[in-house]
Amino acid sequence: MSTVVTPGLFSQVEVKVSKKTPYLMGVFALVVLGAFGIFGKTETVAFQWSKEDDVIKLPDFLVASNLVGIVLGVALVAIAAVSFVLALRGTKTPLWLTLVFGLSAVIALLAWLAAGNSLPFAFILGNAVVLAVPLALGAMGGIMSERVGVVNIAIEGQLLTGAFLAAVVGTLTHNLYLGLVAAMIGAALLSMVLAAFAIVYLVDQIIVGVVLNVLVLGITNFIYAQWLTQDGLNTNFPGTFPIMPIPGLSAIPIIGPALFESRITTYLAYIIIPVLWFILFKTRRGLRARAVGEHPLAADTVGINVARTRFWWVTIGGLVAGLGGAALTIGAVGAFGRNMSGGQGFIALAVVILGRWHPFSASAAALLFGFSIVLRIWANQVNPGIPTDFITMVPYVVTLIAVVGFVGRVRAPAADGQPYIKG
Amino acid sequence: MKLELRGITKRFGALVANDHIDLVVKSGEIHSLLGENGAGKSTLMNVLYGLYSADEGEILLDDVVQNFKGPGDAMAAGIGMVHQHFMLIPVFTVAENVVLGHEPTGALDTLDLEAARKLVREISDRFGFDIDPDALVEDLPVGAQQRVEIIKALARDAKVLVLDEPTAVLTPQETDELMAIMKGLAKAGTSIVFITHKLREVQEVADRITVIRLGAVVGDAKPTDSASTLATMMVGRAVDLDVKKHSPKKGDAGLTVTNLTVVGDRHNKVVDDVSFTVHAGEVLAIAGVQGNGQTELAEALVGLREVTGGQIILGKLDITDSTVREVIDAGVGYIPEDRSKDGLVGDFTIAENFMVNRSYGPPFAKGLSIDFANRARIAEDLITEYDVRTPSQTTLAKQLSGGNQQKVVVARELSRDLNLLIASQPTRGVDVGSIEFIHERIIATRDAGKPVVIISTELDEVSALADRIAVMYRGKIVGIVDATTSRETLGRMMAGATV
Amino acid sequence: MNNAAETPVVNRGNAVLKEILSGGATRALLSVLLGFVVGAIFMVFSNEAFLTAAQYFTARPTDSLAAAWTAIADGYSALFRGSIYNYAADDIVVAFRPLTETLRFAGPLIASGLGIALAFRVGLFNIGASGQLLFGALWATWISTRVSLPWGVHLIVAALVAILASAAYAAVVGFLKARTGAHEVIVTIMMNYIAAGILTYFFRTPELLREVDGGGTPKSDAPAETAQLPYLLGDQYTLHWGFILAIVGVFAYWWIMERSTMGYRFRMVGHNADAARTAGINVERTFMIAMAVSGAFVGLAAVNQALGARAGMTPDIDGTIGFDAITVALLGSSTAPGVLLAGLLFGAFKAGAPAMQVIGLSPEITGVVQGFIVLFIAAPPLVRAIFRLPPPQKSTVVADWWRSLVTKGGRK
């Protein structure tokens, strides 16, 4: 197809920045100020920064719930005003400002929910990280696949495969590391099927992804019902990886226990994410991979083997996603349950888009979602008066808002989803 | 380096795209491969470059048989290709594009971008190209992008340089510059294969010419041969290069465009304060090099693109902010530039394609359902009238040749009751026979008293069809002149000089 | 592009045969066959007798083979007994019940399959059938349990409400895609979870839809008798009018897609949205309308589930229909007759599940078979390779004949 581009020598027009962001911010700011501040609860919230067994313990921070709401509400209104002014001047609101906004709104929400109770900050942060790991790893697998132009809807299936194999193989062999390896290989094999269908058989990539998810769900459900429930002790009782605190780093107050007192699956994620960034943007292989995802024909004409590049990146992406799946079982709760991934593969896909196909941004987005899942668990315990069913929906609503609100601004790899057919 | 192709044959199913082609290019020679659209030139070059594998035949470099399994082998052997549709990654920089596939690396496979930049600057200086290695390709003007393509080929030490229709996107002046570059490279020892369908260029720069028609070599020619000799060899019969045309019978103003401004995807004024009038019964051609806003102008006229300022008046009707459907219903016929993307639905039958913009009422619809009998009848009539070569009306559009596809689009538009015809690149990629037919039909429409707007990058077509010519450059109309204006003047206008 | 003439067809009979073998129907049939083969493999390897015999396979291979054969035979005969004809039954009524059960299960699968198929043909991936179904069922249950209307009217109103609600829920997806470009795969899946949450909330709250005198678990009342779908074959069988609705849906789908101008425009957008836009079609609005119509078909399934029930309903009223609909649409190649047949097949799987459970085979096996069938159907070249089928033919004898039957005046 022609890539004729209009010459960049036309006269420029001043850009009008949409006021969507400031308006949305304004609405949320007023909601926070009103619901959590002015009409908020008066009970005291105890912000618990440290856990019992921390090396350095910080004292709890006690504050009235509505005070937090008012202070943060005012701050949010200020940020919304700044965003509005920026829009008038033709500048888009910087991403960091939006993140500060989001974070403040969330803290106000937490303060409201925890009125009269304590807010176990360290616990929440720690769990948010643990819950974000499968999402982040799934997203890394998705990024690897989509950067070379293969849409990967099958992240859900990869996570499920990983979770299943990690639990079962781990139990059968009494060796969690073998379970981990099996999980990665299993998900990689699934990726190979996706790659084969997309690259060799030229099937619509989205359909293959959906079909693979259905297939994995069917197979794991069958084996679970037929076998695992009958004989759980021998087949589905792997336990979990031990928690391995990193000496020194885990003593840092607040973030130390959250980030550095984890299992090996989390630590592997810490390594994989920056390594992927490096490979993708700083190395020759990464340049070629991105070329394949943007313009496979151009890559072919300089001698890059498009099919092979796509195949290997998708497959290795599967390895990473499989690790994410293992994190769901042996990296968290242990045994496998029906439909263990429960839609997290699709949240991972949203993470890929929100993170603009970039490892670091995607990880940040994964953390946001991990946080929303923790919120669901914790809010239930605290019993704040919102029906549990609505709390359950929070991660999905957040995903929806994120995808709907932000998608317009991002640009996928140009050849994402298009099969490459040679003459 | 001497390049020889012996008996190259390439088939796509039942179609023989290349039929036992022989070609010899001597070292330091500019050899032109001449043929009309669809003759098989690009296929042949793709075989040479390793993108396709030949079914029969051999490629020899300096009398040594080569076995290319892919472009990598071809490049390693010293063959460089400048493609018609640029093979550049828009979101990468010039340096990244130039070194892609043979990147300089440091430790741990890291990219050595500094070395890449140096390479670009070196070649750029050697030939006077003036390209910034860190510029993003998508920000560069088209002429500069082509120079990046050339740098890409030279960076790999190309000894045989293949240029595939390189002048399609250049002004006449830029074309002259390119010819000078080619002559310079040839004198330095590079063998050049110059693929084109433009006779004028061939006569100017080629040392020898090979003419291809319908996949086979028709013969060799010299640049001193006359244009009509070459044209006859290309097409296989005597070609009348002029369209018979009476002087226009101009009527009232049909289309009046006043101070039209359109903002493009990158926040620039791709159509900048454009004004012109087209009268009933006349053809106004909008000439200019591809990429100066003509595409966006056409889209704005039919309602596909939002108008930022100005007015479009059809007769007495203001269609500035009309939707595409309203514009169509107002009697505007539109032959889009890209027929496979915008003009036709490839997976629909020919009959189904005739009704794409008239599916809401008669003659193609009866209430809420399709009027199959009427549609079949109309399709039959149109296929006959416009000489569309097809086994039946239920053939899928994508199975037709380019020329026949274009005839379907033309038939569809001209069979409506029109108040204005807009034809954008009406004969791009179309065989000569169909070109003649379509040109006749356009003149017939004008003679029937309709205003016609032609947008074309081919000066020959512009000169043949137009009564008046408006030249576009960087979104503005540089001038509106009579059809008798000289080629040089038009060329200068296309490069921005005002009349 | 294409300047050469086509090579003439030498042997017409041969060409027709090749065309049939390379066509979609053959591939569909073979994909089903392959799916059953894979299912058989799973049956064998989850059979205890086989597993025990396999341990001494080298010593007495016949034991293993016999056990394998028995496993397969038992499994599929149970499926047959449960879904088509129970030859082991005493009286004729019981014997035919399996067939009626198949039809009963097939109804919502066909209806929702049509919805997904329509979306496919417009170029949209509607993965949200379960959410749309739940949303429609929610409002139908409201009408059927909390509102009193006379017989006949009650049912019709409840049904219309279900269809409109499902359509509206789906239209939101189309709207979001049109306005913001949001990827409909993610949006529909998130909305599935959201609908489930909303429905559970409604079924849990006494003031809303929870059953009178209910306990802690979310459950609604049974639909009022005046709002229930009547039985089709009397009280002996549980087959109700939901199946007829599905058949009506099949004809409606066929008419919309093949005969109506709206369906023509849907197909145009699905094939080439750019050309459609140039032809004056408002592509964004088409997406919204198409999603709404798609949701309306799913609404037929919602009617089936909400008004075909005879007892109180739980939040899993959609069962696996959401994803089954996708497999039905894929196997049926998004055509009316295809979806009908695929829906019947997968309905048979569901009907046969209890019979398989009785012999100790987990009914999830049908999920496996279903998944593999669709995997094979999604990869035409794969099936072609396995069975050495000829590639898609240039001759269109059969296709032309079919087209001339199906589209009036289409000959030559």
- pLDDT tens per residue across span B457-488: 888 889 889 999 999 988 899 999 998 888 88
Return the pLDDT at C406.
52
- pLDDT tens per residue across span B8-49: 998 887 778 888 999 899 888 999 998 877 778 888 888 888
Question: SS3 for C278?
Answer: helix
Q: Would the pLDDT of B454 be above 90?
A: yes
Query: Helices H, strands E: what count in chain B?
Result: 16, 22
Read out DSSP for B47-64?
HHTTSS--SEEEEEETTE
Mutation for testing the A interface, residue in B42, B52, B98, B109 having most A CBs under 10 Å: B109
Q: Region A337-354: what's the mean pLDDT?
A: 87
Residue percentage of chain C with pLDDT more than 90: 34
The C-alpha angle with vertex A23 and arms to A20 and A28, in degrees rounded to 5, equals 120
Record the tokens describing residue B73, joined without a space: 């082998």
Question: SS3 for B10?
Answer: strand
The CA distance from B283 to B482, in Å, is: 11
Cβ–Cβ gap B475/A302 under 8 Å: no
Return the pLDDT at C174.
92
Nearest CB partner across the interface for A8, out of B49, B140, B308: B140
**Nearest to residue A163, comparing CAs of A240, A267, A243?**
A240
**Residue A274, preceding bond cis, omega within 30 degrees?**
no
Nearest residue on chain A to B52, judged by CA atoms? A423
Q: Would the pLDDT of C398 be above 80?
A: no
Cβ pair B30, B204 in contact under 8 A: no
Q: Kindly list the residues from chain C whose CB atom is less than 8 angstroms away from the CB atom of residue A206.
A: 125, 185
Record the tokens describing residue B396, joined without a space: 């899928």
Record the tokens describing residue B130, joined without a space: 């003036």
Q: Would the pLDDT of C400 be above 70?
A: no
- pLDDT tens per residue across span A181-195: 999 999 999 999 999
Q: Report the gap between the CA of C282 and the closest CA in chain B (Å).
A: 8
Q: Region C12-28: what's the mean pLDDT?
A: 69
Query: Per-residue confidence at A234, pLDDT binned at 50, 70, 90?
Result: confident
Q: Region A399-406: what's the mean pLDDT?
A: 76
Mean pLDDT of chain A: 83
Most confident range, picked from A88-97, B478-487, C248-257, C387-396 = C248-257
Q: Kindly list the residues from chain A whose CB atom is less than 8 angstroms away from the CB atom of residue C138.
A: none
Cβ–Cβ gap B402/C412 under 8 Å: no
Return the pLDDT at C397.
61
Return the minimum-mean-pLDDT range out of A385-389, B460-464, C102-106: A385-389
Cβ–Cβ gap C282/B391 under 8 Å: no
Query: Per-residue confidence at A199, pLDDT binned at 50, 70, 90?
Result: confident
Q: Kindly list the residues from chain B whose CB atom is less than 8 angstroms away from the CB atom of residue A6.
A: 264, 266, 268, 270, 291-293, 295-296
Determine the CATH number of domain C107-355. Answer: 1.10.3470
Return the pLDDT at B46.
85
Q: Would the pLDDT of A111 be above 90?
A: no
Q: Is A421 on the interface with C (CB under 8 A)?
A: no
Q: Region C355-377: what's the mean pLDDT?
A: 84
Return the pLDDT at A1.
31
Q: Report the gap between the CA of A320 and the closest CA in chain C (Å).
A: 21
Most confident range, picked from B211-220, B404-413, C145-154 = B404-413
ipTM of this predicted structure: 0.82
Q: Is A192 on the interface with C (CB under 8 A)?
A: no
Return the pLDDT at C12.
62
The CA distance from A9 to B495, in Å, is: 13
Mutation for testing the A interface, residue in C179, C364, C373, C377 having most A CBs under 10 Å: C364
Which is higher by pLDDT, C24 or C271? C271
Query: Per-residue confidence at B197, pLDDT binned at 50, 70, 90?
Result: confident
Domain boundaries, chain C: 107-355
Mean pLDDT of chain B: 88
Mean pLDDT of chain C: 84
Cβ–Cβ gap A153/C185 under 8 Å: yes
Q: Report the gap between the CA of B276 and the closest CA in chain C (Å).
A: 24
Return the pLDDT at C5.
37
The CA distance from A212 to A193, in Å, is: 9
Cβ–Cβ gap C3/B431 under 8 Å: yes
Q: Which other chains touch chain B, taking contact as 3+ CB pairs less than 8 Å apart?
A: A, C
Nearest residue on chain B to A300, judged by CA atoms? B71
Record the tokens describing residue A393, joined without a space: 């929906």
Nearest CB partner across the interface for C368, out of A218, A350, A393: A218
Mutation for testing the A interface, residue in C184, C200, C362, C365 having most A CBs under 10 Å: C362
Interface of C with B (CB under 8 A): 1-7, 255, 259-262, 264-265, 267-268, 271-272, 274-282, 394, 396, 400, 403, 407-412
Q: Region B326-341: what's the mean pLDDT?
A: 93
Q: Is A197 on the interface with C (CB under 8 A)?
A: yes
Percent helix / strand / coil, chain C, rounded to 5: 70, 0, 30
Q: Would the pLDDT of C92 be above 90?
A: no
Query: Per-residue confidence at A269, pLDDT binned at 50, 70, 90?
Result: very high
User: In this complex, how many residue pairs, one in chain B and one in chain C, have their CB atoms less than 8 Å apart?
Assistant: 111
Which is higher by pLDDT, C81 or A138? A138
Which is higher by pLDDT, A267 or C364? A267
Which residues 297-336 of A are in CB contact (within 8 Å) with B?
Answer: 297-305
- pLDDT tens per residue across span C196-206: 999 988 888 88
Q: Is A369 on the interface with C (CB under 8 A)?
A: no
Question: SS3 for B318?
Answer: strand
Which residues 374-413 of B are in CB contact (within 8 Å) with C?
Answer: 375-377, 380, 391-394, 399-402
Query: Per-residue confidence at A165, pLDDT binned at 50, 70, 90?
Result: very high
Cβ–Cβ gap C408/B373 under 8 Å: yes
Return the pLDDT at C31.
86
Beta strands in A112-158 (DSSP E): 118-120
Q: Report the gap between the CA of C311 and the closest CA in chain B (Å).
A: 41
- pLDDT tens per residue across span C281-290: 999 999 999 9
Is domain A131-390 annotated with CATH 1.10.132?
no
Residue span(s) of chain A under CATH 1.10.3470 come to 131-390
Residues 6+ positions from A230 with CB-CB distance below 8 Å = none
- pLDDT tens per residue across span A127-149: 889 999 999 999 999 999 999 99
Query: Per-residue confidence at B198, pLDDT binned at 50, 70, 90?
Result: confident
Nearest CB partner across the interface for B85, out of A1, A285, A294: A1
Cβ–Cβ gap C42/A203 under 8 Å: no
Q: Which other chains touch chain A, taking contact as 3+ CB pairs less than 8 Å apart?
A: B, C
Return the minimum-mean-pLDDT range out of B305-319, B434-448, C306-320, C378-392: C378-392
The CA distance from C172 to B78, in Å, is: 57
Return the pLDDT at C13.
65
Nearest residue on chain B to A413, judged by CA atoms? B91
Which amino acid, one-letter code, is at B463? S
Record the tokens describing residue A369, joined without a space: 């979602």
What is the maximal distance between C-alpha atoms in chain A?
73
Query: Per-residue confidence at C233, pLDDT binned at 50, 70, 90?
Result: confident
Read out DSSP for C229-244?
PPBSS-TTS--BTHHH
Query: Per-residue confidence at B147, pLDDT binned at 50, 70, 90?
Result: confident
Cβ–Cβ gap B87/A1 under 8 Å: no
Residue percentage of chain B with pLDDT more than 70: 98
Q: Report the gap between the CA of A311 and the closest CA in chain B (Å).
A: 18
Distances (CA, A) of A273 to A132, A186, B24: 13, 21, 54
- pLDDT tens per residue across span B75-126: 888 898 888 888 899 999 999 999 998 888 888 888 888 999 999 999 888 8
Q: Is A1 on the interface with B (CB under 8 A)?
A: yes
Distances (CA, A) of A301 to B8, B65, B82, B83: 20, 21, 10, 10
Return the minimum-mean-pLDDT range out of A197-206, B132-141, B211-220: A197-206
Q: Which residue has the tokens 């269609």?
A: B319
Cβ pair B260, B470 in contact under 8 A: no
Q: Is A18 on the interface with B (CB under 8 A)?
A: no
Report phi then psi at A106, rounded to 5: -65, -40
